[in-house]
Structure formats: C-alpha cells, structure tokens
Amino acid sequence: MSSLNKSGKKHRFGKAWMHEHVNDPYVKEAQRRGFRSRAAFKLIELADQDRLLHPGMTVVDLGSAPGSWCQVVRERLGGQAKIIAIDLLPMDGMNGVEFIQGDFAAEEGLQALRKALKGEPTDLVLSDMAPNLSGVEAADQARSIALAELALDFAVQHLRSGGDFAVKLFQGAGSDAFRQQAAVHFDKVYMRKPKASRGRSREIYVVGKGFHGTA
C-alpha cells in the first residue's frame, strides 16, 4: 500500500502509528510470551478482574483471529477446557481449539457454531469483534453496537445458568443502552477499559456475570 496521499506527501499518521506500535510495551511483551497479538493482555486483565476462567469450561470465542484470546484460555486452563472459535478471517491452528472460518453474523456461520457445540450449553462467551471502520463515526458506532447485540443474543441462547459474557464495543451512542440490555440477563454487569486498550481508543468491554436468562 502506498504511503503517499494525493498531494504526494507521506502520511504522518502512518509513521506515528508504526513508531507507537513497535515501541508499545504490550506489543513487546506479547512477542516475548508468544502471544499472537497484544489483545491477549486485555483478556488477561478482564479474566483476572472478573474471574472469568475456570477449569472444565466450554468457551466460545467470537471474532477470534489471530487467536490471542484462545491462547490465553489455553494457557490458563490447559486441556481442561473446550474452546470453539469463529472468525471470518483465517486463523492458524491451535491445539485444543476448534476453529470455524465463517461469518458469525450469517446464518451459515451461526449454524456451524451451533453444530460444534453439539447441543451443549457454554460457560463463557467472549467477543472481541469489531466492524471494518469506515471513518464515519456514527456508522462505525452503529456497526459496533450491532455486533455486540449479535454476540449478546448468542450468549442468551447458549449460556448455561450462571455463565459469563464479555464483549467489545465502542463507547458512544447506544453503549449505555446496550449495558442496560445486558443487565436484563445477568446478575452483574460491568463496563471495563483494560490497561492494554490504548487511551485514544473508544473501545470498552461489557462484562456480564451470572447469566440468569430473561427477567
């Protein structure tokens, strides 16, 4: 991809982002520990803060590529977990993880995920899905909320009683309403901003603890 704009000048943002990325302590630590991306540390913080991971769990990871969240689950639980992951993008194989390459937002992908569960409920639904950004804030915000709602709907249909849920969305229009929507189904709901989430990013995570179905 060319780094020149229409006036022939280099994009300063691209250079600044690359400089920040290569000097990011989470990027360096991810490389040191063999994680596929710095996003691993977001799940580590969420899991520690809200006690999300327990031996023997069935975990569904929505929007899993490149696989760093699956790595965290495997590292914490070893072989004592059933992990099913889905993403539209390819993901390199990982021992102990059943990966489905498909569109979670499409019926075909959803059916493949249900087939992998074999009718069994899940203990934890994770979603780090994000929309392809258009640069139009209102549109990107709406897409983010729509993906979070799809993840919540899946969780409501497939979590066992007492199960947990963690989903990424962008803070802005609709995020408070989404939190209230999630609160209908869980004993406790928290809004989290992990330290590994860059300060300028609008991403936040909604964590639902203690699934109890609908009120």
* 2 Rama sector, left if φ>0, alpha if ψ -120 to 50, beta otherwise: beta
Q: 31: which 2 tokens?
A: 């490389």
Q: Which of 47, 46, 50, 24 is nearest to 194 (CA)?
A: 46
CA gap 26, 39 in Å, rounded:
8
Report d(CA 96, CA 78) in Å as an integer: 8
168 is catalytic: yes
- 87-110 core/surface letters (b: 16 or more CB in 10 A; e: else): beeebeebeebebbebebeeeebb
**Strand, coil or helix: 147:** helix
- 3 close to 10: Cβ distance less than 8 angstroms: yes
What is the Cα 110 distance to its own chain's centre? Answer: 16
Task: Name every residue whose Cβ is closer than 8 Å to that of residue 32 and which is 6 or more positions away in sequence.
Answer: none
C-alpha angle 74-79-82 in degrees, rounded to nearest 5: 75
List 6, 28, 42, 168, catalytic entry: 168
The residues annotated with a catalytic role in the active site are 168
